[in-house]
Amino acid sequence: METTLYSPFVRASNPALARWQSAVMSVVSKRIQSENPDMIPHEVRTLALQDDMIAGTNLHVQRAADKLPSPTHEELEFVSQLHQTGASHPHIHYYASHYFYRQAVLNVVRNNPEQAGFGFTDLGVNDKPSSFPDTDSNIQQWILAGAEWEAYANPYPSPYIDWVNKVPINVDKNTFKKTFSVYTIPDNAKVAILGDFGTGLTDGILMLMSLLINQKPDIIIHLGDIYYAGMNSEVDAYINMFTEAFKRTGKAVPVFSIPGNHEYMSGGEPFFTKVLKMNAANGFPQYAQAASYFCLRNQSGTLQYLAMDTGLNSVDAWVATQLQGAYSPWLWFSEADWCQDKLETFKQSGGKTILLSHHQLYSVSSEINDGKNVVYVGSAPKSNMDYLNGNLFNVFSPYFDQVLAWYWGHEHILAIYRNNELFNANNIPLKKGRLVGNSGYEQWDKDGGYAVKGDRFHYASPIVQVGITPVNWTQWITVPNLPPQKVTRTSEFFNHGWAVLTHQGSNLQASYWSFPVGSPDITTLPPVGNVPPPTSLNFSENL
């Protein structure tokens, strides 16, 4: 049996498994921190990526996502033999992850029988390998992870802030709607856009420092995703990435965030109680975020950044199988109304809008609406819907003539799509759809990247691609009839990056920058003077 190689970065679309990753990361981080008390949390998290428990959990989660069968008795015996040698090995931890996750699920189901009907249906528990004594220190770590997961098992209730519920008594609802979560920014504000940034890893801080030092943005907008499940410790790590970069560069700027799907895998409470308070805590009380959606409007009223919360209806944190596969998330009714109000206001004034969301309006490679997972209500055209989010299209397409560009994340690359995309014979074309999802999540080049699966939507020609960075990391290999070995291997990851929107005279110019991936190779931060500049300018354009 040979170890299947997976990236050290595996994400789960299943909320229960994502929370399991969070639980294991928490246990591993605490152990590493206790062994290295001088490390900052980000260095600990980065080092943890190479821990055998994390590697084993990644194998477990990836195999579950790939719907591979549960471990067989034969495999368990192999693990027992490995374990009896006293070695730590990802396969031991894979089976331990599998076993203790299921034990934790069973414990929850025993205490909450209702959950048996909510997706926890595959509960056949394999025998524990005979050589897994509970006194083993490794196994004790897994027991701790199981206990931590059980504490997470009932996610927080949705803390989503609906503007309708915030209307003060004696204030007209429509008047309130016009100003709720709307902020004024300077006419020439330079805005940086990040996507899928919330890893909490060291190279993310390094990238932020480079952005702050070299490009001096006035405002940063994050398009969402705090891994693995937006739990308290993970949200703390996300906020501290900015705090650490601000401290080290001596430059702090307002940060606006919308949630992705991962924040809601915990139910979302930490995002709402902590992330929304970032700006006030960093000395920008005028930019204290009121909701998970916002509008940044320039002083002249000619340009607005309109950011929406697509995460809310993308994940059902209660259900282990979430929304049964590919499904296009939708905006909460009142939020769709709030967004359209902002667009109607600008329609009358002639202002232009930049749309911002975590989820994509469309994709060339990621199936958004697997037909068997959705039911169409109205008479929207069914063709091409597998790769188009019809819910978002319905809300925003009437306003595409006043939209300069729509930026989204969710997929972990930079993509410049073909301009003036038409979705059907009658709609107004979208001038520019842009994917900036490569700011933090480490995307292994073996995991797809720029592959095209659908034939409806297209990259711009010539295609703009970010480069790759070779990263060294240690991993186990298992070859039949040979003892397991730990080796250093080099893997290639797509570079990180961001977009910057700058005013050049009367033009709004967008530039797209790359920065080398460092995790899990770089675990310590260099002095400020040694922070590298962006590796390259990938693309620039006038919006």
For another protein, the closer CB: 386 or 442: 386
Of 67 and 372, which CB lies nearer to another protein in the complex structure?
372
Q: How far is the CB of 377 from another protein (least distance, A)?
A: 4
Smallest separation (angstroms) from another protein to the CB of 83: 37
CB of 235 or CB of 385, closer to another protein = 385
Q: Considering beta carbons, is residue 193 or 320 the nearer one to another protein?
A: 320
Give dist(CA 192, CA 128) in Å, integer. Answer: 50
> Closest distance between another protein and the C-beta of residue 389, in Å?
10
Closest CA to 316 of 184, 193, 424, 158: 158
| 118 versus 539: smaller Cβ distance to another protein | 118
* DSSP per-residue codes, 102-171: HHHHHHHHHH-GGGGGTT-----PPPPPTT--TTSHHHHHHHHHHHHHHHHSSPPPP----GGGGPPTTS
| C-beta atoms surrounding 162 within 10 Å | 14
In the bound complex, what is the minimum distance in angstroms from residue 313's beta carbon to another protein?
7
Tell me whether residue 120 or residue 494 sits nearer to another protein (CB atom).
Answer: 120
CA distances from 311 to 65, 159, 251, 522 (A): 20, 12, 30, 31
Quote the least distance from Cβ 2 to another protein, whole Å. Answer: 36
Closer to another protein by Cβ: residue 145 or 385:
385
Query: Shortest distance, CB of residue 302 to another protein, whole angstroms?
Result: 29
Shortest reach from residue 318's CB to another protein, in Å: 4
Q: Look at residue 518 and give its three-state secondary structure.
A: coil
For residue 43, the tally of other CB atoms under 10 A from its CB is 20
What pairs with residue 408 in β-bridges?
357, 435
d(C-alpha 257, C-alpha 261), whole Å: 13
Check: CB of residue 309 under 8 Å from CB of residue 292. Answer: yes
Q: Which is nearer to another protein, 43 or 386 (CB)?
A: 386
Strand order across the beta sheet in which 414-416 lies:
182-185, 294-298, 303-307, 352-357, 403-408, 433-436, 414-416
Closest to another protein by CB, 373 vs 542, is 373
Instruction: Enter the DSSP assignment of 1.
Output: -
Q: Identity (one letter) of the amino acid at 18?
A: A
Q: At its nearest, how many Å lie between another protein and the CB of residue 324?
A: 3
Q: Buried b vs exposed e over 474-506: b needs ≥16 C-beta within 10 Å?
A: ebbebeeeeebeeeeeebebbbbbbbbbbbeee
Measured CA to CA, the distance from residue 438 to residue 366 in angstroms comes to 15
Per DSSP, the three-state class of 480 is coil
Q: Which residues bind another protein (CB under 8 A)?
A: 112, 114-115, 117-118, 154, 313, 316, 318-319, 321-324, 327-328, 330-331, 333, 336, 369, 372-378, 380, 385, 390-391, 394-395
Minimum Å gap between C-beta 373 and another protein is 5
Q: Minimum Å distance from CB 174 to another protein?
A: 11
Q: Which pair of structure tokens corresponds to residue 437?
A: 């999802």
- Quick one: 66 or 114, whose CB is closer to another protein? 114
